[in-house]
């Protein structure tokens, strides 16, 4: 079982900052996709972020991973945590709104709890977690709509791609627990992105050819946010919060990302989501609140009489 640490004021501030940074990812991707095809965008994001993080690791004097087994584990992690989900989310976003993509992405924690319970002995699926998972899954299904499961058009496939990305993220969490313990966050993150780049660059070149890099100022601005800020810096901030607040608390960032992404989509891209999307996100958020458990513990302490 993951023990929950108390969150300091500083950790709350950095958690909010991470939510804001990741909330802007979907807007940046939507802008970049206007000129850059999806596989190329993913390859550029992963490879340049890997270079930045290797620079950070070297400046900090972090230990470079060594050994064939470690690099094989990092390669698999890069596929599960970067290559597959980044590609599926980007492909999905070519068919659905950025805000809706972020709502599906919020299901990562729900699938993470479910898959961890299936493969990790210390992540037992308690009755409370089971209720939270069911709430979250119902929110994901409701957001997608039952018609998406019956009539597969491009929009439906885009939604299913986003759901597939969250499942890949969940398997990545299990893989990291089993095979990547003991590595420094800097070098481990740079290593997994390097593994992902080794896969995504050839795919992008084969599917879409060489990138032109003759992009508009708007697209270059999106890339400047998308890669060094929302990928490299965000990973460093994530691991910092993880160390301060613990893995259970860092999941709370999921509840912050979607509202920010939805707001940016409305203000910048004039997106309009159906009411079903907001109801679905509410169910996902309720499921995460149940999984977290602290809100209900606080209510119970507030309203139940103390024993004397």
DSSP secondary structure, the chain, as one string: -PPPPPPPHHHHHHHHHHHHHHHTHHHHHHHHTTTS-HHHHHHHHHHHHHHHHHHHHHHHTPPPP-SHHHHHHHHHHHIIIIIHHHHHHHHHHTTS-HHHHHHHHTTHHHHHHHHHHHH-TTS---HHHHHHHHHHHHHHHHHH-HHHHHS--HHHHHHHHHHHHHHHHHHHHHHHHHH-TTS-HHHHHHHHHHHHHHHHHHHHHHHH-S------HHHHHHHHIIIIIIIIIHHHHHHHHHHHH-HHHHTTHHHHHHHHHHHHHHHHH-----HHHHHHHHHHHHHHHHHH-HHHHHHHHHHSPPP-
> Residue ranges of the domains in the chain?
9-302
> Is residue 55 scored above 50 in pLDDT?
yes
Give yes or no for a contact between 258 and 102, defined as CB atoms under 8 angstroms apart: yes
Ranges 15-19, 185-189, 266-270, 300-304: which has the least confidence: 300-304
Nearest to 105 by CA among 288, 294, 291, 306: 288
Residue 67's pLDDT is: 85
> In the chain, what percentage of residues exceed pLDDT 90?
48
- pLDDT (tens digit, 9 = 90+) per residue, 239-254? 888 777 666 666 678 7
Residue 221's pLDDT is: 96
Q: Please tell me the pTM assigned to this model.
A: 0.88
The more confident residue out of 204 and 143 is: 204
> Is residue 153 scored above 60 in pLDDT?
yes
- pLDDT (tens digit, 9 = 90+) per residue, 80-134? 999 999 999 999 999 999 999 999 998 888 888 888 888 877 777 788 888 888 8
Give yes or no for a contact between 93 and 33, defined as CB atoms under 8 angstroms apart: yes
> Is residue 238 scored above 80 in pLDDT?
yes
- pLDDT (tens digit, 9 = 90+) per residue, 157-182? 999 999 999 999 989 988 988 888 77
Average pLDDT over residues 267-286: 89
Average pLDDT over residues 284-300: 72
């Amino acid at each position: 079982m993951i023990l929950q640490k108390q969150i300091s004021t500083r950790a709350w501030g950095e958690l909010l900052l991470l939510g804001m940074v990741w909330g802007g990812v979907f807007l940046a991707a939507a802008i970049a996709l206007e000129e850059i095809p999806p596989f190329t965008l993913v390859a550029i994001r992963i490879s340049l972020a890997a270079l930045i993080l290797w620079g950070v690791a070297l400046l900090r004097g972090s230990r470079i991973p060594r050994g064939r087994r470690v690099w094989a584990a990092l390669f698999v992690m890069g596929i599960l945590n970067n290559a597959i989900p980044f590609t599926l989310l980007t492909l999905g976003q070519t068919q659905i709104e950025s805000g809706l993509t972020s709502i599906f992405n919020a299901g990562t924690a729900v699938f993470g709890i479910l898959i961890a319970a299936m493969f990790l002995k210390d992540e037992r699926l308690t009755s409370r977690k089971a209720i939270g998972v069911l709430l979250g899954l119902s929110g994901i299904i409701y957001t997608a709509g039952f018609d998406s499961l019956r009539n597969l058009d491009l929009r439906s496939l885009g939604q299913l791609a986003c759901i597939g990305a969250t499942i890949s993220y969940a398997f990545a969490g299990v893989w990291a627990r089993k095979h990547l313990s003991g590595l420094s966050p800097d070098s481990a993150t740079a290593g997994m992105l390097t593994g992902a780049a080794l896969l995504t660059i050839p795919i992008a070149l084969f599917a879409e050819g060489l990138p032109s890099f003759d992009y508009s100022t708007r697209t270059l601005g999106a890339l400047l946010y998308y890669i060094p800020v929302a990928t490299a810096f965000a990973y460093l901030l994530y691991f910092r919060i993880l160390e301060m607040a613990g893995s259970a608390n860092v999941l709370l960032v999921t509840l912050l990302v979607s509202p920010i992404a939805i707001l940016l989509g409305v203000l910048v891209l004039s997106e309009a989501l159906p009411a079903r999307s907001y109801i679905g996100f509410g169910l996902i958020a309720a499921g995460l609140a149940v999984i977290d458990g602290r809100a209900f513990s606080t209510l119970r302490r507030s309203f139940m009489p103390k024993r004397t």
